[in-house]
Chains A and B, each alone.
Chain A
Amino acid sequence: MGTVSINVNGVDFTREVEPRLLFVHFLRDVLGLTGTHVGCDTSQCGACTVLVDGEATKSCTLFAVQLEGRKVTTIEGIAQAGKLHPVQQAFWDKHGLQCGFCTPGMIITTCALLDKNPKPTEEEIRHGLEGNICRCTGYHNIVKAVQEAAEKLPAARGN
């Protein structure tokens, strides 16, 4: 066992962990943040995607101990003051989900994508989401949701 300190959604957590503890289990089982999902558990589906220092990262293929001193944002951390984040709102408005299992990963990846490329083309969106698999929607409405989010985000950020 060793100690690890990680900032998750703005809060510093220090916990005793086994080195082999995967970060997704740290989030779900140690911190109780179950919004980050385990889908394939083999770094293909993207349901476990979180932001590590702003970069989309698959938390099932990462040990918690690797994140000593890093800043992480999970799906629980993006809505502010009880108000949905513009990306969340866009997924709601454009029906960018059916069962919702992949949605946390889709939204986190979208946040990272729009951060790097605020005005992506449809092709850039589709390539940008290559690491997230959805088994319900056929991606059509997810792409629409990302486009909607790209339109709404600048206003929400006040620029």
Chain B
Amino acid sequence: MIPSSFDYHAPATLAEAVALLGKYPEDAKVLSGGQSLLPLLKLRLGQAGHLIDIGKIPGLEYIKEEGGMLRIGGRTRESALERSEIVQKRYPILVDTAKVIADPIVRNLATVGGNLAHGDPGNDHPATMLALGAQVVAMGKSGERVIPIDKFFLGLFRTALQPDEILTEIRIPAPVEGSGGAYVKLERKVGDYATAASAAYVVIGTQGFVERAGIGLTNLGPTPIKATAAEKYLIGKKPETAALAEAARIAAQATEPSADRRGAVEYKREMARVLTGRALKKAVERAGGK
């Protein structure tokens, strides 16, 4: 399969890349790892007159803790995230997520920024970032701005990024005492998009009550879903079986799945409930709550 023709640009700096995007506002796409973009172009589900390859721009691949945040460079490969010692040690929810994205070879090219900027509700990072309360940094012609992740996903393949903006960094609050997170995905086979998946993050206070909760859902509606009502329900509760089950039930009500080869609406909604229950349980365990 051969994509339609395009002009290829490989800018050496971020400023150059932003300028190019500004020059072709209706007709340019950012090429990061290309693992979602190339299939779209090859299948001709998408088209772009200009591809702006950010692969030659230095300083976009890093994972570091700084100022109470984990900072992930936009072009950081999924494989790097998966292998990162600091991520393995302090952010196991990110390892859960990275290792179920596509397959190991695809993960050598696929990038964390691309997984978010693509705006695909079937991608795995969005749910995790929603649960963690992440922020993304976007660079445009008027400089840098920070977008909270719950304001980022606007619709199917639509994000808060302006046509001339590039996602340069993801910021995740560093774990605090009593915090834990997990991502649980149901897939038909390796490399498939989720039938349903759930990310859960909890902070349990010293008295044993939930102080913060985050729940994100994958492929269960036109956008990644933040299960706000379920999160609110958990605040102030002891993270015990009944409360977690009730939160999972409420989370499933926030879903709007569509029927496809992965399952019927009822099935997917039920899987949302089951998987959220499991993700919460694991998150609580990792938080040291049980």
A binds B: yes
Give the B-binding residues of A (Cβ under 8 A): 2, 18-20, 22, 41-44, 46, 49, 55-58, 61-63, 65-66, 68, 109, 127-128, 130-132
Which residues of B26-85 are within 8 A (CB) of A?
A: 31, 34-35, 38-39, 41-43, 51, 53, 55-56, 79
Asked if B1 contacts A130 (CB within 8 A), the reply is no
Q: Which 10 A-B pairs have the closest CB atoms?
A: A131-B103, A19-B8, A131-B105, A130-B103, A130-B190, A55-B108, A61-B38, A56-B105, A20-B3, A65-B8
Name the residue among B41, B79, B103 with the largest chain A CB count within 10 angstroms.
Answer: B103
B10 CB–A CB distance under 8 Å: yes
- Give how many A-B residue pairs fall within 8 Å (CB-CB): 79
Contact with A along B77-114 (1 / 0, CB 8 A): 00100000000000000000000001111101100000
Asked if A66 contacts B191 (CB within 8 A), the reply is no
CA gap between A46 and B105 in the complex, in Å: 8
CA gap between A56 and B105 in the complex, in Å: 6
Asked if A43 contacts B3 (CB within 8 A), the reply is no
Q: Assess A66 versus B105: contact at CB under 8 Å? Given A18-B5, A20-B5.
A: no
CA gap between A19 and B34 in the complex, in Å: 14
Give the A-binding residues of B (Cβ under 8 A): 1-8, 10, 31, 34-35, 38-39, 41-43, 51, 53, 55-56, 79, 102-106, 108-109, 190-191
CA gap between A63 and B191 in the complex, in Å: 21
Asked if A41 contacts B191 (CB within 8 A), the reply is no
CA gap between A7 and B13 in the complex, in Å: 24
A-B contact pairs, 21 of them (CB 8 A): A19-B5, A19-B7, A19-B51, A20-B3, A22-B2, A42-B43, A43-B38, A43-B106, A44-B191, A46-B103, A55-B79, A58-B106, A58-B109, A61-B35, A61-B38, A61-B42, A62-B34, A66-B55, A109-B105, A127-B104, A128-B104
